[in-house]
Amino acid sequence: MTPVLLDTCALIWWTSDTGKLSEKALEACNRIKISGAAISSISIWEIGMKIKNKKIDMGCSISELVNKLYEIDKFEIVPVDEITWLQNLSLEWDHRDPADRTIVATAKLRNLPIITKDPLIRNFYPKTIW
């Protein structure tokens, strides 16, 4: 089984409201402890900003969420380094959202499918699950 990369919304829904995931996305998330998963660290920033601006309530602080993620076997938070930024910049994609671009760049570098509902990502990056 192949590991997956969760986009920010998939991570939010997987950790707080699995009913918002598609059947295929939920199946992939249910296999995380067996096959592994990752997120880009930019998703931590995105969720943290949503919590800070009171756009979402995760039931815990962003620090507590990160600590919970660290406790999951075969789950990795991938740092955004210069290699990821260079991949981000080299994407032949007119999408301007730096977080989405970074998530796609991370998936490309690791050759991972992305769990995402986002049609812009799904139209650009062929290896998606939804």
Is residue 46 pLDDT above 80, yes or no? yes
Q: Which amino acid is at 73?
A: D
The predicted model gives 36-57 an average pLDDT of 97
For the stretch 60-117, pLDDT in tens is 999 999 999 999 999 999 999 999 999 999 999 999 999 999 999 999 999 999 999 9
pTM recorded for the entire structure: 0.94
Quick one: average pLDDT of 8-15?
97
Q: Which residue in this structure is represented by tokens 């992305």? A: 114
Mean pLDDT of the chain: 96
Sorted by sequence, the CB contacts under 8 Å of residue 53 that are 6+ apart come out as: none
Sequence letter at residue 106: T
Residues above pLDDT 90, as percent of the chain: 98
Residue 1 has pLDDT above 70, yes or no: no
Per-residue model confidence (pLDDT) at position 69 = 95
Q: Is residue 2's pLDDT more than 80?
A: no
> How does DSSP assign the chain, residue by residue?
---EEE-HHHHHHHHH-GGGS-HHHHHHHHTHHHH-EEEETHHHHHHHHHHHTTS---SS-HHHHHHHHHTSTTEEEE---HHHHHHHHH-------HHHHHHHHHHHHHT--EE---HHHHHH-S-EE-
Would the pLDDT of 14 be above 80? yes
CATH 3.40.50.300 fits 4-129, yes or no: no
Q: In what order do the strands lie in the sheet with 4-6?
A: 75-78, 37-40, 4-6, 114-115, 128-129
> Given this model, what pLDDT does residue 130 score?
97
